[in-house]
């Protein structure tokens, strides 16, 4: 084992987590929520924090959808982490292409580090045990073995794939793999528990960058060639982000790393892991990983429990009361309420698909939409008007833009804003307002030390974000790089569900 070899975390940040709807949606999926632990840090932040103390730990590489890039950057900034790079996927292509571009980036300057591939939406309650397992696999990975982490089963789970080891599992060193098994039925899953050779597939890996590139070249050359072209043509001038070339990346086959490589090669090893792992694939999984009250219920937010047992009750905005019910999930958000049996988590995605099929916004976006400058919240909407609450961070700025088919009234409720209209600037203080006429070139800057909060009233027939023409933007956005949900859904990475 050589701690001088850098250990580069590769954190896959894609996916929608549709089984945790209405909390997790395409515009702001579960990995960016504080769903576990003390509720202060998001799943993405916890993914990196649990690595602290590993020898040779290097800055991480993060791979995310273009529309989430500023969320990822801000959450890393909040915990004091400066990534080695944030790679932007223009379209979802599953985990094999994601790992390929990360390995190419890690070796771009001739280095050959160890890559620790993780997904951003997992919970691992025993971080020390996880770090011990990583260290147990380091020597084998340095020698060229492709190590995957198998979770020691706690029951006959049908929602996970399984890894079959050549002999009963142990945690001291990686073991030869006999095969991978897709999600089984319950009877098969129960049979897997008896021999002690099966573990749950976690989607976490440890290997040298050169080793995975070599196996991709041998077993999935079409994946690697597309990724290599996308990485070579990337536009590194997009702030701190590495934007992959769309057509080249799209030419790469959409396939997971286990199907493309691990199931077809002889250099794989499985290291068993017992560390309180969960992929938070449902509200039931969230209930199981959290602390419950005396009635066995998980209460989050302003919730009153009067005789509710074994329930998951979450409030985001309005008071939730559980009265004499059991085995229920109730999740309240600003625009949707889910009421379901605690064991029906796998069916929630069916509802999400139904909403998306009819174009319902609730299927993929929250009422609050995040932007690089902060967020806006659609409060209420009429046939020819709309009211939003807009929050702009200190030193942040809206883009210079104009609207062909709508006018806007801005009322500043907190802070001081500098508003530019057709080249003329004005200072708008708290309790003051300004009017943005149709087709006026305008923007707002926040020069202060506190966030600007304002109410925006839009009028005219066309209220959608597609009515704007962006003329200038400090964040590198253009009209063709919109974060709007209609574009976001098609670009999501399948690296995390």
Q: What is the CATH number of the domain that holds 419?
A: 2.60.120.10
Residues 207 and 62 reside in one and the same domain: yes
Same domain for 391 and 245: no
Q: Along the 497 residues of the chain, how does pLDDT read in single tens digits?
A: 566 799 999 999 988 888 899 999 988 999 999 888 777 899 999 999 999 999 999 999 999 988 898 899 999 999 999 999 999 998 888 999 999 999 999 999 899 999 999 999 999 999 999 999 999 999 999 999 999 999 999 888 888 889 988 888 776 788 888 888 888 888 999 888 877 888 999 999 999 999 999 999 999 999 999 999 998 766 554 567 888 888 999 998 899 998 889 887 777 889 999 999 998 888 878 888 788 888 999 998 899 999 999 999 999 999 999 999 999 999 999 999 999 998 887 789 899 999 999 999 899 888 888 888 999 998 888 888 999 999 999 999 999 999 888 899 999 999 999 999 999 999 999 999 999 998 999 999 999 999 999 999 998 765 555 567 889 988 877 654 444 444 444 433 333 33
Q: What was the pLDDT predicted at 311?
A: 93
Q: Mark whether 291 and 261 lie in a shared domain.
A: no
Residue 310 lies in a domain: yes
Adjacent-strand bridge partners of 303: 320
Are 274 and 295 part of one and the same domain? Answer: no
Q: What is the pLDDT of residue 488?
A: 46
CB of 209 within 8 A of CB of 115?
yes
Q: What is the pLDDT of residue 322?
A: 95
Cα(first)–Cα(last) distance of the chain, in Å? 33
pLDDT at residue 400, rounded to an integer: 94
The widest CA-to-CA distance across the chain, in whole angstroms, is: 76
Where among 278, 308, 340 does a domain terminate?
278
Check residue 449 and give its pLDDT.
95
Residue 382 lies in a domain: yes
| CATH number of the CATH domain containing 267 | 3.90.550.10
Same domain flag for 117 and 237: yes
Which residue has 């200190």 as its token pair?
394
- Would 363 be classed as within a structural domain? no
Residues 6+ apart with CB under 8 A from 52: none
Note whether 218 and 266 are within 8 A (CB): no
Q: Are residues 327 and 378 in the same domain?
A: no
Residue 490 pLDDT: 40
- Please report how many Cα atoms fall inside a 13 Å half-sphere around the Cα of residue 153, on the Cβ side: 24
Residue 492, in any domain of the structure: no
Domain boundary among 348, 364, 391: 348
Residue 21 domain-assigned (yes or no): yes
pLDDT of residue 234: 60
Q: Are residues 316 and 453 in the same domain?
A: no
Q: Tell me, what DSSP letter sits at residue 153?
A: P
Looking at the structure, tell me whether residues 309 and 425 fall in a common domain: no
- Buried b / exposed e along 232-255 (16+ C-beta atoms within 10 A): eebeeebeebbbbbeebbbbbeeb
Domain count, the chain: 3
Tell me how far CA of residue 17 lies from CA of 27, 60, 223, 413, in angstroms. Answer: 11, 23, 25, 35
Alpha-carbon distance of 238 to 136, in angstroms, equals 38
249 and 379 part of one domain: no
- The model carries a pTM of 0.86
Distance between CA atoms of 223 and 278, rounded to whole angstroms? 29
If asked whether residues 120 and 221 sit together in one domain, one would say: yes
261 assigned to some structural domain: yes
Helix axis angle, 95-106 relative to 221-232, nearest 10°?
50
Final residue before a domain boundary, out of 244, 278, 312: 278
Give the domain extent around 335: 283-348
Q: Check whether residue 264 and residue 379 sit in a common domain.
A: no
* Residue 361 is assigned to a structural domain of this protein: no
Q: Please identify which residue in the block is written with the tokens 């990995």.
A: 31
User: Rg for the chain (alpha carbons), in Å?
Assistant: 24
190 with 73, same domain: the answer is yes
34 inside domain: yes
């Amino acid at each position: 084992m050589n701690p001088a070899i850098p250990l580069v975390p590769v954190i896959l940040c894609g996916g929608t987590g549709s089984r945790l709807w209405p909390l997790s949606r395409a515009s702001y999926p579960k990995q960016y929520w504080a769903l576990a632990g003390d509720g202060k840090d998001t799943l993405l932040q916890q993914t990196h924090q649990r690595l602290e103390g590993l020898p040779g730990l290097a800055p991480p590489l993060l791979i995310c959808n273009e529309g989430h890039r500023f969320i990822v950057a801000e959450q890393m900034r909040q915990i004091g982490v400066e990534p080695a790079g944030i790679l932007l996927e223009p379209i979802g292509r599953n985990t094999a292409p994601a790992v390929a571009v990360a390995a190419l980036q890690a070796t771009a300057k001739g280095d050959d580090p160890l890559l620790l591939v993780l997904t951003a939406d997992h919970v691992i309650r025993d971080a020390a045990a996880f770090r011990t397992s990583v260290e147990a696999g380091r020597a084998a990975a340095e020698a060229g073995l492709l190590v995957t982490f198998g979770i020691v089963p706690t029951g006959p789970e049908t929602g996970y794939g399984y890894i079959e080891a050549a002999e009963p599992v142990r945690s001291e060193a990686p073991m030869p793999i006999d095969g991978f098994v897709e999600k089984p039925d319950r009877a098969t899953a129960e049979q897997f528990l008896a021999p002690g050779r099966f573990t749950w597939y976690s989607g976490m890996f440890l290997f040298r960058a050169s080793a995975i590139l070599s196996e991709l070249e041998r077993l999935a050359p079409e994946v690697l060639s597309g990724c290599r072209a996308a990485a070579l043509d990337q536009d590194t001038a997009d702030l701190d982000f590495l934007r992959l070339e769309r057509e080249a990346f799209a030419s790469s086959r959409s396939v997971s790393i286990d199907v493309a490589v691990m199931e077809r090669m002889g250099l794989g090893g499985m290291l068993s892991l017992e560390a309180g792992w969960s992929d938070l694939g449902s509200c039931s999984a969230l209930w199981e990983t959290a602390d419950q009250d005396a009635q066995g219920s998980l209460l989050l937010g302003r919730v009153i429990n009067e005789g509710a047992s074994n329930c998951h009750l979450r409030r985001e905005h309005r008071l939730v009361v559980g009265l004499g019910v059991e085995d229920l999930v109730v999740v309240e958000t600003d625009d949707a309420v889910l009421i379901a049996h605690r064991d029906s988590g796998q069916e929630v995605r069916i509802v999400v698909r139904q909403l998306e099929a009819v174009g319902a916004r609730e299927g993929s976006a929250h009422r609050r939409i995040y932007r690089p400058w902060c967020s806006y919240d659609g409060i209420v909407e009429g046939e020819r008007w709309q009211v939003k609450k807009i929050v702009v961070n200190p030193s942040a700025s809206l883009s210079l833009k104009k609207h062909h088919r709508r006018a806007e009234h801005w009322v500043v409720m907190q802070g001081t804003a500098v508003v530019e209209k057709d080249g003329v600037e004005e200072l708008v203080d708290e309790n003051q307002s300004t009017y943005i006429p149709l087709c006026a070139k305008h923007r707002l800057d926040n020069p202060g030390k506190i966030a600007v909060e304002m109410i925006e009233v839009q009028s005219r027939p066309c209220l959608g974000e597609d009515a704007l023409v962006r003329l200038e933007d400090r964040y590198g956005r253009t009209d063709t790089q919109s974060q709007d949900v209609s574009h976001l859904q098609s670009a999501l990475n399948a690296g995390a569900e």
